[in-house]
Amino acid sequence: MRAATATEQSANESAGRAGTGARPASVESLVAEVKERMGEEWPPRIYRERVLQMRTRSHAIPQLTKNAGVEILHTLLGIELKVGRRRISCPDLATARYLSVFARAGAMEVAVPYDITKISRLADELESAWQRLLLLAEHVTRGRAAATRSRVRAAVVKEARREIEEAGAGTAVPQFNQNTRQRPQRI
């Protein structure tokens, strides 16, 4: 008799949900909700609209393995970005912070601004956007099973990686203006 009440109870709950229209959202719809809430702070959008619009050079990032992390190391030889077991030497902390966002996303190749004065501000924006992305993924899955939360988080990161890779990494060497003439042209 106790099993019958548990079945009746679950049937009543599902009937109640069907009557109110409170159907559990799919992973894709939760990813779309996170992306919509992020708006202009969506990391791939910042990358497309702010980074790729300036002169850049492409930079390869090692593939992040499943249980490995991304760390910024301060060594005697300078700043290094540790992705899994591989280390990348970086010219400064801002570049390491900038690349760490893309390494966490799992991008293999990204564009790095050639003007080093702009990297720090972009690193700040991208790090903030990345943290907000993870917090929103947690927020939209509040009260759900741990497996669902993990699946949504992975899907959000996968969508961000897909959009970053779709945008491309630019050229390996930046384009320079070859015109060095300083006198005004006569007409």
Q: Residue range 15-28: average pLDDT? A: 53
Q: Residue range 37-64: average pLDDT? A: 90
Model confidence pLDDT, tens digit, residues 122-181: 999 999 999 999 999 999 999 888 998 999 999 999 999 999 999 888 766 666 666 666
Task: Indicate if the pLDDT at residue 4 is higher than 80.
Answer: no
Q: How many CB atoms lie within 10 A of CB 50?
A: 16
Task: Indicate if the pLDDT at residue 11 is higher than 60.
Answer: no
Per residue, the 3-state secondary structure of 119-172, as one string, reads HHHHHHHHHHHHHHHHHHHHHHCCCCCHHHHHHHHHHHHHHHHHHHHHHCCCCC
pTM: 0.76
* CA–CA distance, 156 with 172 (Å, rounded to integer): 28
Averaged pLDDT score across all residues of the chain:
82
Question: What is the amino acid identity at position 144?
Answer: R
Determine the pLDDT at residue 169: 82
DSSP state of 40: G
Question: What is the amino acid identity at position 134?
Answer: L
CA distances in angstroms from 32 to 25, 109, 116, 161, listed in the order given = 11, 25, 34, 15
What lies within 8 Å, CB to CB, of 10 at 6+ separation is: none
What lies within 8 Å, CB to CB, of 17 at 6+ separation is: 23
Task: Indicate if the pLDDT at residue 9 is higher than 50.
Answer: no
Q: Residue range 52-60: average pLDDT? A: 89
Determine the pLDDT at residue 23: 45
Helix (H, G, I), strand (E, B) or coil at 111: strand
Using a pLDDT cut of 70, give the percent of the chain over it.
Answer: 79
Lowest mean pLDDT among 4-18, 35-49, 62-76, 140-154: 4-18
Q: Residue range 32-42: average pLDDT? A: 92
Determine the pLDDT at residue 42: 93
